[in-house]
């Protein structure tokens, strides 16, 4: 069984959840933490990992 190379995560970029769903539901793809800081601005829900800073618009 061949394993796909892991995609490097750019922490300065905001990822779109529709294009990049969680590898494990409710966990950060980068550090596997479940501690998020959430905000809503202009009708966009933004989820940011408190541990590593990875952001996704939900």
pLDDT (tens digit, 9 = 90+) per residue, 8-28?
Answer: 889 999 999 999 999 999 999
The per-residue pLDDT of the chain, averaged, comes to 90
Task: Tell if the pTM clears 0.85, that is, is over it.
Answer: no
pLDDT at position 6 is 59
pLDDT at position 8 is 85
CB 53 within 8 A of CB 31: no
Q: How many CB atoms lie within 10 A of CB 6?
A: 7
Residue 51 pLDDT more than 60? Answer: yes
Q: How many angstroms separate the CA atoms of 7 and 50, rounded? A: 21
Residue 29 pLDDT more than 50? Answer: yes
Q: How many angstroms separate the CA atoms of 26 and 46, rounded? A: 14
């Amino acid at each position: 069984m061949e394993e796909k190379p892991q995609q490097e995560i750019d922490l300065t970029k905001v990822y779109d959840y529709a294009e990049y769903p969680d590898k494990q539901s409710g966990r950060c793809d980068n550090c596997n933490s479940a501690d998020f800081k959430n905000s809503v601005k202009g009708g966009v829900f933004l989820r940011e990992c408190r541990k590593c800073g990875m952001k996704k618009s939900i």
